[in-house]
Structures are given as C-alpha cells and as structure tokens.
Amino acid sequence: MAIEVILDDYVLNVTNFEEDVKNENGNVLITIAFDFKVRGGKEYHDVTVHLYKTTFDVKVPERNLAFKGKINSYATSRTDFTDENSLADFQLELIEIK
C-alpha cells in the first residue's frame, strides 16, 4: 500500500514503509525507511536536487509522524536518468535529529 511521505513540501508516494526507533547516545530517535519510484529527466532532477539538502521537515500524515530528519542511507537502481521514459527504484532511510 502506498502512503505519502512529505519532505519539507515535497510529496513522495512510497511503498515498503517501515518505522522504527533507535537509541543513539541516550536519545530515542525515530527512523523511517521506504521505497519509491522516479522517472528520468525532469522528475529525477527535481527529486535529487531536493534530496541534496539532506535535512528535512518530515511528515507522514497516515502515521501521525512529524520530525526533523536527515538522510541515514540512500540508494537508487540507476545512475543515468537522461531518458524521460526510464524508471528507477529509490530507497531512502531517514533518522530524526534533535
């Protein structure tokens, strides 16, 4: 089932959503991980430019989650996105920052 994850004002429709908590140096931090698809060309450019920020106001309305987070891990199945018709899988994990 797809749900929305909002990074600042950028909405991603994601699948394989997982939520967890980690204890890091005595702080309990929310982590989320998910997959999403990206088309080549302009969509790829828009997504990657936004992800370059690395720190976001994260919201997951369906889970009542909102936190300041940063990229903990990031992967994509492709590196050449000049073809507008190409489609790639992205995987993203975010961790809360305090």
79 confidence band (pLDDT: 50, 70, 90): low
CB 93 within 8 A of CB 28: no
Condensed to tens digits (0 to 9), the pLDDT of residues 22-75 reads 988 888 999 999 999 998 888 888 998 999 998 999 999 999 999 999 999 999
Name residues whose C-beta falls within 8 Å of residue 76's C-beta, 6 or more positions apart in sequence: 38, 88, 89, 90, 91
Question: Which pTM does this prediction carry?
Answer: 0.90
Which pLDDT belongs to residue 40?
84
Task: Name which of 45, 34, 36 is nearest 77 in CA terms.
Answer: 36
Please name each of the domains of the chain with its CATH number.
3-96 (3.30.70)
Task: Name which of 8, 9, 2 is nearest 34 in CA terms.
Answer: 2
Mean pLDDT of 80-90: 78
According to DSSP, the residues that pair with 6 across neighbouring strands are 11, 59
